[in-house]
Structures are given as C-alpha cells and as structure tokens.
C-alpha cells in the first residue's frame, strides 16, 4: 500500500511539472447541468429576440380567455417580445395568467411565470386585434352634422384600432350628431356621437306624473335643454320645480 501511494504521488508530481512547463494542458472541466435545465423543452423557453418560443401557449391562453364576440368577428393575437435585457433561466413548464385589470382588447400585457425548473415571472406584451362589421364613414363628415345613412357604409374593420365603442348598427346614429369630424373610411364610435336635444331651455313641455292606476298632467316650461331619455328639470304653471325623464316633449315623472 505505501508503495502504491508513493507511485501515485510521483505520477502527480510529474504531471504537475509537465503542466508548469507547458508540455501538457489541463482537461476541460465538465460542468454539471441541473436536471431541470436538461429536461427543459425548447418550445417552452422564452427568448428576447423575435417572437418567443412560448408564443403558441400564450396565444392559446389569450384566445381561451377572450370574452364572447359577436357573430361575424374574427380575432388575431400577436405575442410581442420581452425586454432584450432580460436573461431568463430555462423553464420546464410555464403558466400564462391575466394581470389585474387587464382588458384583452388592443395592446395589452399577459403575465407569464415559470412553474418548473426556475423561479421567475415576467410581463409579455400582447396585441389582440378584433375584426368585424362596423359603420364606416363613406365620405368626410363634419362636426355637428347628423350621420345620415347615405353617408356611411358597413364593412369589416379593425374594431380595436382606436379606443371606444364602435358603432355596429346604423340605427345607433338616429337622433345623434357628430362631436368631431370623421374622415372617410374611419370607423364611427359611440363616443363620436351626441344625442340631439329635442327641447331647449324655455320651451313649453307637458308634465305627466304617473302613479299606480292614475296619470296627472300639467303644462310647464323646460329649464334646460334635453334629449330623448335624458333627465331634465321643468317648472310647472304654479312655479313648482320638478325633474323627470324626457319622452318626446313630455317630462315623465313616476311616483
């Protein structure tokens, strides 16, 4: 045994001397890889260059999470890029999730966290584009004009391009006027429209008080402008101030 130990020591000393003299080189170290890194499928790793390999599961999650859309619409989901400064450890299994207050409409974000192989959580930009029939201006429409049916058409448009609620039925424009100019080809939105007043301040109105089994009518005067369905104030002939809902040129008060 002592002889074998001496032999090994002499061999080690000789190898060290050759190494110092540059006659041999040290072998490359073998780096141990963690089981999770070895098992991590490339399809679930997230990279910062181009669309990530996790785009497919994230896209599928977004499509499952979308609220029901109207008939005739189609949805496209584009998964964006991570911050190129991020360096994420390989992950065996990821989980997309909705961030608090997220609306899956237009440009938004999805949370992605690693469940196996590493511990990280990131925010991934996502664009949800919804296409469907909408009312589009067939010609330039000036502010203050009523959107006549002859000046609009229905065609497929990207409903998520601008904020607001798109007009999908021409009947939604009846009795309303534009608060801003609309370019030809632009989608009309409910926020572009205001209800046209049916009475002005000082106009004579009828006042009806509706109760269970009876109706009391009186003449009065509108104290403010109002449109169909709006709440306005009026003065009765004896000077009493009342408030009710405008129906045509009648202030309706339910008691």
Instruction: State the average pLDDT over residues 86-108.
Output: 89
Predicted confidence (pLDDT) per residue in 222-242, tens digit: 999 888 788 999 999 999 999
CA distance 176 to 191: 11
Domains and CATH numbers, the chain: 36-130 (no CATH), 131-195 (3.90.1210.10), 204-254 (2.30.30.760)
pLDDT of residue 115: 92
pLDDT at residue 206 above 90?
yes
* Structure-token match 């110092």, residue found: 20
Instruction: State the average pLDDT over residues 28-34.
Output: 32
Confidence at 114, pLDDT banded by 50, 70, 90: very high
In the numeric block, which tokens belong to residue 168? 């999908």
pLDDT at residue 82 above 90?
no
Higher pLDDT, 30 or 189: 189
Contact in structure between 242 and 253 (CB atoms under 8 Å): yes
Instruction: State the average pLDDT over residues 203-230.
Output: 89
pLDDT of residue 53: 60
pLDDT at residue 108 above 70?
yes
pLDDT of residue 161: 84
Confidence at 68, pLDDT banded by 50, 70, 90: confident
CA distance 94 to 117: 9
pLDDT of residue 67: 79
Instruction: State the average pLDDT over residues 118-139.
Output: 91
pLDDT of residue 11: 53
Confidence at 22, pLDDT banded by 50, 70, 90: very low
CA distance 196 to 250: 16
pLDDT at residue 153 above 60?
yes
DSSP 15-73: HHHHHHTTSS-PPPPPPP--HHHHH--GGG---SSSS-TTHHHHHHHHHHHSPP--TT-
Higher pLDDT, 40 or 142: 142
Which of 186, 180, 176, 177 shows the shortest CA–CA distance to 137?
186
CA distance 117 to 156: 45
The residues near 88 (Cβ < 8 Å, ≥ 6 apart) are: 45, 46, 82, 114, 118, 120, 122
């Amino acid at each position: 045994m002592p002889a074998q130990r001496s032999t090994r020591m002499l061999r080690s000393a000789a190898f060290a001397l050759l190494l110092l003299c540059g006659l041999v080189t040290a072998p490359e170290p073998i780096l141990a890889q963690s089981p999770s890194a070895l098992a991590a499928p490339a399809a679930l790793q997230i990279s910062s260059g181009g669309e990530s390999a996790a785009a497919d599961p994230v896209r599928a999650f977004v499509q499952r999470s979308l609220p029901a859309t109207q008939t005739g619409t189609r949805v496209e989901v584009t998964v964006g890029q991570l911050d190129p400064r991020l360096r994420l450890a390989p992950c065996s299994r990821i989980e997309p999730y909705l961030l608090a207050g997220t609306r899956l409409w237009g440009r938004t974000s999805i949370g992605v966290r690693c469940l196996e192989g590493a511990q990280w959580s990131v925010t991934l930009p996502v664009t949800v584009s919804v296409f469907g029939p909408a009312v589009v201006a067939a010609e330039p429409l000036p502010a203050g004009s009523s959107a006549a049916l002859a000046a609009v058409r229905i065609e497929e448009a990207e409903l998520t391009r601008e904020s607001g609620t798109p007009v999908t039925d021409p009947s939604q424009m009846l009795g309303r006027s534009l608060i801003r100019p609309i370019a030809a080809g632009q989608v009309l939105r409910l926020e572009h429209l205001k209800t046209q007043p049916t009475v002005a301040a000082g106009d004579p109105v009828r006042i009806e008080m509706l109760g269970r089994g009876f109706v009391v009518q009186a003449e009065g005067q509108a104290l403010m402008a109002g449109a169909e369905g709006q709440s306005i104030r009026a003065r009765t002939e004896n000077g009493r101030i009342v408030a009710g809902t405008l129906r045509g040129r009648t202030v309706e008060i339910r008691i």
